[in-house]
Amino acid sequence: MSVDPDSSFVPVAPVGRGPVSARAQDRGGVVDPLRKPVNTLAIVPQSKRITPLARKAYNVMLHMAQAQGIERPAYRALVADVIAGLDFDSNDTQLIKKHLRSMAATTVEWQSPTTGEGSSWTVSGLLAHAKISKERGQNWIEWSYSIELKQELLEPSVFARLSIEIISQLRTHAGIALYEICTRYKEVGRTSRQAWQWWRPVLSGQPESARTQKLEYRFFKRDTLKPAIAEVNAITDLEVELVEHKEGRFIAELQFLVRRKSQPPLPLRNPPAPVDMSLIVLAQKLGVSDDHAEELLDTFGSDALRGGLTALEKRIASAFPGPLRDPFRYLKSLMPGEAEKIARQQAAAEPAPADKAVDAAPLDVRRKAQWEEEWLRQRRERVSRDLESLSEEEQGRIVSSLLDDMAARDVHPSIRRRMEQSGWRHPLVVNEMIKFYAKATIGEHWDQPTAEELLAVAAQMPG
């Protein structure tokens, strides 16, 4: 579908730069929530992955289009009202073009999470067209929707009322999708039952492939379901609980119990905030691709990524123990420690609950110790593999630095001689090498797992 940029529709100020909609004015300036049709809640990507940033930007654009009205052939908004953190006059625009291109090219199935609900089933692109232009010194986005979907998208008959504010705080696609679906059922108290395989592309945002179809349910539960439920329960106005339905010994179907939290969120009085891509832009400047940066943002959150990028910038500037060959691998190794640091800061800032039981049951110390031991074993193996992947020259420089460090710490001369004579792989010195390299590349807390990492290890271990 093409739209003539000089067509007769009158450009209007987007939400956030002009008057709010008539419905919002009638409600004392409160901005309407996003009315998302039920057929668009459980979107199943058919061609490309839908990223969390793309889904958030799509929701912001849909909210703006609903405010501008269904009669328009296309919709317009300032770039800064949709995407923040970009410099339009630099290569940063390639990032927003990539997301808009993906929205136009990504084929999805639009279907309700309740079988048979909604008027129809449709296959379409997220957008019919998108255009970026500069007018009178301002940068604008123009977009449209397919004829088949426009009526349902902009004036839906059956829809979920979604908080753009809450969506902006969710970091994973699974968290966003689960929140949107469960909001539809918060009055009912439970979602519909669907085969667990049905939930996989809906929550992950990934098209089904031969590889994903072979994955067992336990991996989907560990990697997607549990983190999404935890995120929704921590951030949104809903409490969600997973219900598994078996056929024989195997999990066949899933549904979610949905409860409102006791204190409802305040109504949205400001326009939806633009989607912040400044961290992705910074990552690109430091040599990390936008796809990899979004992957880390999705997994660890913005605060952890910001800390990791700061550390990466320092590492690049210091060039120790040599020039950094793979910024992404280095940044990825930092992220668990940064996430743990953020978690500790948040825990320290939160007041202890007054009703916490004094005689709470103690943790199973033995099992926790087993998980920590297994996690540390795996971490040491990864650090050792990273060392092995370096050139002999780089390994030699690190050994030289370690020898200097050992001398400064007054490590026994016999151990230093063993390092010089037999190399860092000798059983007496390999742990010193791993610890030294891990502290330099990952950080002081390289050997301290996060709660999420322990949970992942626990899921791998028998019993």
Instruction: Note down pLDDT in tens along the chain; length 463 residues.
Output: 333 333 322 233 333 333 344 344 444 445 678 999 887 888 888 888 889 999 999 999 999 999 999 999 999 999 999 998 877 666 667 888 888 998 998 888 777 677 655 555 677 888 999 999 988 888 899 999 998 789 889 998 888 899 888 898 898 999 999 999 999 999 899 998 999 999 999 999 999 988 888 889 999 999 899 999 998 998 899 999 999 999 999 999 999 999 998 755 555 556 677 888 999 999 999 999 999 999 899 888 888 899 999 999 988 888 777 788 899 999 998 888 888 777 777 666 655 444 443 333 343 566 677 788 888 888 888 888 888 888 888 888 888 888 888 888 777 777 788 888 888 888 878 888 888 888 888 888 888 887 767 777 776 666 5
Name the residue type at position 69: G
Among 260, 290, 319, identify where a domain stops: 260
Residue 55 resides in a domain: yes
Per-residue pLDDT tens digits for 194-241: 999 999 999 999 999 888 888 899 999 998 999 999 989 988 999 999
Residue whose pair of structure tokens reads 């800390």 in the numeric block:
307
Q: Is residue 406 domain-shared with residue 437, that is, in the same domain?
A: yes
Are the C-beta atoms of 55 and 171 separated by less than 8 Å? no
Both 256 and 313 in one domain: the answer is no
| Burial bucket for residue 113 (CB in 10 Å: 0-12, 13-18, 19+) | buried
332 and 385 co-located in one domain: no
Q: Residue 3 falls within a domain, yes or no?
A: no
Residue 84 backbone phi and psi in degrees, to 5? -105, 160
Phi, psi of 364, rounded to the nearest 5 degrees: -75, 90
**Which domain CATH number covers 172?**
1.10.10.10
Residue 92 backbone phi and psi in degrees, to 5: -55, -30
Q: Is 259 helix (H, G, I), strand (E, B) or coil?
A: strand
Beta bridge partners of 250: 247
Q: What's the rounded Cα separation, in Å, for the pair 70 and 5?
A: 18
Are 241 and 293 within one domain?
A: no
Partners of residue 244 on adjacent β-strands: 254
pLDDT at 74: 96
47 plus 134 within the same structural domain: yes
Same domain, 234 and 98: yes
Asked whether residue 355 is domain-assigned, the answer is no
Determine the Cα–Cα distance for residues 286 and 291; give it in Å rounded to an integer.
14
Tally of domains in the chain: 3
Measured in residues, the chain has a length of: 463
pTM (global) more than 0.85: no
| Same-domain check for residues 289 and 254 | no
Domain shared by 251 and 291, yes or no: no
* pLDDT at site 268: 53
Could you tell me the residue range of the domain that residue 146 belongs to? 22-260
H or E stretch at 84: strand 83-84
Identify the bridge partners of residue 239 per DSSP, sorted by sequence position. 259
Burial of 28 (0-12, 13-18, 19+ CB in 10 A): exposed
Q: Tell me, what's the pLDDT at 18?
A: 38
**Is 12 a member of any domain?**
no
The answer for 68, left when phi > 0, alpha when psi is -120 to 50, beta otherwise, is alpha
Contact 338, 452 (CB under 8 A): no
Structure tokens at 324: 């950094």
Question: Angle formed by the axes of helices 93-105 and 278-285, to 10°?
Answer: 120
Residue 91 φ then ψ, to 5°: -70, -5
Taking phi over 0 as left and psi of -120 to 50 as alpha, with beta for the rest, 273 belongs to beta
Task: Report the pLDDT value the prediction gives residue 357, as an integer from 0 to 100.
Answer: 38
327 domain residue, yes or no: yes
Sheet holding 129-135, edge to edge: 75-78, 138-144, 129-135
- Bin 311: left if φ > 0, else alpha if -120 < ψ < 50, else beta: alpha
Provide the CA 303 distance to its chain's centre, in angstroms.
Answer: 12
Shared-domain flag, residues 79 and 178: yes
- Pair (63, 165) in one structural domain: yes
In a domain, residue 271? The reply is: no
Cβ–Cβ under 8 Å, residues 64 and 31: no
Comparing C-alpha atoms, which of 345, 344, 319 is closest to residue 330? 319
Are 207 and 169 within one domain? Answer: yes
| Residues 179 and 40 grouped into a single domain | yes
**What pairs with residue 142 in β-bridges?**
76, 131
